[in-house]
């Protein structure tokens, strides 16, 4: 399905269907008011009707804001895919909403069919954006074009991430993830370095190696780098890449193992971010570090009561082998700081169910020391379409990961504030110089869904990609 933008009024564009978004207020003044009344149409959010004789698709929106239009665009494309129309067209709904509409159509149209023996044939081939606003007022075409193209890159990168998240454990092993990164590097002009098991041993990545020890699919550390000329800032992005998590010897219940392919969503998000950044050609040097491993069970598996020595020399008492993602991140964070001097370092992980208890299943948990950095991230994220909530650190929760026999314990002594204590564990692997520049994003809730919400159907959502791209774009705008 192609999205195109034409510098033409809507009436001059040839398409089989025209899309119209109506609020309760604009419905009252619409030329189609009486006809729509006969269909029972109400202009509430995401209500949909199609007037075949008029070649008109109408979708209700609460307002002409980005959130409402993004959701409505997704509804339209999902519905129209079920018909036999090949093209549709629409006007702009203010310049600030171009990106939301593009994202709604691109992400709403996505479906994962890799493992289907028969795929669904879709007639809809083209969605055409007019340069004119819906009220027939012209806007600056160069500004529309930039917003359109940038949003198309970001939405496509988000779908790329979703595709990787949805791949099954037998098809997306640590080695395959490294191959995906190498292919992306070749295609997008990135640098790529992959550390295999022997290289991880040389780098003293003992916590990460312990997690992957019992799997026949050995761990990989992946380092992608985008290095444009005249960079304004340098940012390191770290992704948790558990291609499958059985829980290890602290074995998960059978029902909890289902969907554990999504435990690589942080790593997949970083791959999507690197794709987007390199195609947007932002003047920001970006490094993506991924810890790819599989947490399995055999006689060599690491055990509760083990003490592991991480790359930075910190010792970790293992009390639960299902708290494995933070062990992988501990070494990757340390490696990233040793390898690259960055202005910011962010990590992304499906780390804790506790984050979903705190914020619900749709919101990313953001944790770190700098309130100033949190403010800037939230400001940049305002129109990304992602929901982010901040969870506060405190010294009382920090005491819960104290170990009597090692420097730190990999789980807390009490089952409260688990998302925060997991982040406080990671804080042990952030240098003093980087603490005000580090932010942890727990995407356990929004990274994967089994029930449709917002623009998403079943599966991976690409959580983190749009949010991070918006922040990186904000850095490129600063003088």
Task: Let me know if 319 is a catalytic residue.
Answer: no
466 is catalytic: no
Question: Which tokens is 392 given?
Answer: 């506060």
Tokens of 54: 């008029």
Cβ atoms 422, 350 nearer than 8 A: no
The Cα–Cα gap between 342 and 207 comes to 23
**Number of Cβ within a 10 Å radius of residue 111:** 16
Residue (of 238, 294, 295) closest to 266 by Cα position = 238
Distance CA(236)–CA(224), nearest Å, equals 10
Distance, CA of 18 to CA of 20 (rounded, Å) = 7
Q: What is the DSSP string of 161-229?
A: HHHHHHS-TTTS-HHHHHHHHHHHHHHHT-EEEEE-HHHHHHTT-HHHHHHHTT-SS--EEEEEEE--S
Evaluate whether 321 touches 247 at the Cβ level (below 8 Å): yes
- Is residue 19 helix, strand or coil? strand
**DSSP-derived secondary structure letter, 456:** B
- What is the SS3 assignment for 17? strand
What would the 3-class secondary structure string for 401-416 be? Answer: HCCCCCCEECCCCCCC
Alpha helices (runs of H) in 231-370, residue ranges in sequence order: 254-257, 265-280, 325-339, 353-359
The backbone region for 55, taken as left when phi is positive above 0, alpha when psi lies in -120 to 50, beta otherwise, is left
Residue owning tokens 């479906």: 111
Question: Is 99:61 a contact under the CB 8 Å cutoff?
Answer: no
* Sign of the torsion formed by the C-alpha atoms of 240, 241, 246 and 248: negative
330: Cβ contacts below 8 Å, ≥ 6 apart: 207, 208, 310, 311, 312, 314, 316, 425, 426, 428, 429
Please list, in sequence order, all residues whose beta carbon lies within 8 angstroms of the beta carbon of residue 37, skipping any fewer than 6 positions away: none
Edge-first strand order for the sheet with 191-195 is 191-195, 220-226, 284-295, 233-245, 344-349, 438-442, 363-367, 387-390
Of 261, 264, 311, 326, which one is the catalytic site residue?
326
For residue 333, give Cα distances in angstroms to 127, 156, 170, 330: 42, 28, 27, 5
Active-site residue, selected from the candidate residues 79, 252, 314, 319: 252
Residues annotated catalytic, as ranges: 252, 326
């Amino acid at each position: 399905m192609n999205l195109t933008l034409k510098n033409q009024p809507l009436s001059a564009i040839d398409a089989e269907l025209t899309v119209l978004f109506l609020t309760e207020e604009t419905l009252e003044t619409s030329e189609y008011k009486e006809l729509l009344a006969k269909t029972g149409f109400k202009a509430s959010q995401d209500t949909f009707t199609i007037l075949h004789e008029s070649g008109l698709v109408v979708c209700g929106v609460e307002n002409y804001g980005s959130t409402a239009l993004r959701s409505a665009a997704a509804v339209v494309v999902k519905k129209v895919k079920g018909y036999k129309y090949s093209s549709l067209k629409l006007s702009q709904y203010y310049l600030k909403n171009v990106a939301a509409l593009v994202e709604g159509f691109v992400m709403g149209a996505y479906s994962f069919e890799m493992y289907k023996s028969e795929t669904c044939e879709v007639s809809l081939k083209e969605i055409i954006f007019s340069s004119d606003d819906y009220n027939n007022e012209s806007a600056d075409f160069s500004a529309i074009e930039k917003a359109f193209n940038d949003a198309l890159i970001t939405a496509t990168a988000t779908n790329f991430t979703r595709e990787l998240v949805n791949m099954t454990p037998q098809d997306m092993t640590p080695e395959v993830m490294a191959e995906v990164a190498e292919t992306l590097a070749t295609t997008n002009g990135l640098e790529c370095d992959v550390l295999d098991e022997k290289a991880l041993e040389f780098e003293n990545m003992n916590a990460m190696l312990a997690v992957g020890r019992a799997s026949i699919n050995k761990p990989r550390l992946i380092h992608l780098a985008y290095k444009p000329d005249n960079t304004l800032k340098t940012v390191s992005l770290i992704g948790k890449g558990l291609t499958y998590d059985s829980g290890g010897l602290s074995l998960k219940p059978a029902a909890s193992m289902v969907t554990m392919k999504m435990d690589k969503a942080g790593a997949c998000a970083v791959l999507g971010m690197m794709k987007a950044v390199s195609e947007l050609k932002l003047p920001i040097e970006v490094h993506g570090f991924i810890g790819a491993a599989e947490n399995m069970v055999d006689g060599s598996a690491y055990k509760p009561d083990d003490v592991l020595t991480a790359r930075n020399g910190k010792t970790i008492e293992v009390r639960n082998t299902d708290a494995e993602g933070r062990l992988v991140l501990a070494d990757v964070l340390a490696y990233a700081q040793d390898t690259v001097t960055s202005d910011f370092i962010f990590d992304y992980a499906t780390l804790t169910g506790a984050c979903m208890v705190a914020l619900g299943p749709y919101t990313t948990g953001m944790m770190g020391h700098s309130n100033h950095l949190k403010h800037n991230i939230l400001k940049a994220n305002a129109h990304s379409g992602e929901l982010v909530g901040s969870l506060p650190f405190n010294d009382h929760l920090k005491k819960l990961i104290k170990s009597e026999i090692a420097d730190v314990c990999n789980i807390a002594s009490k089952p409260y504030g688990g998302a925060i204590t997991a982040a406080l564990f990671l804080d042990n692997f952030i240098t003093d110089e980087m603490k005000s520049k580090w932010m942890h994003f727990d995407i356990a809730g929004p990274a994967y869904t089994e029930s449709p919400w917002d623009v998403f159907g079943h599966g991976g959502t690409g959580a983190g990609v749009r949010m991070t791209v918006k922040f990186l774009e904000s850095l490129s705008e600063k003088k």
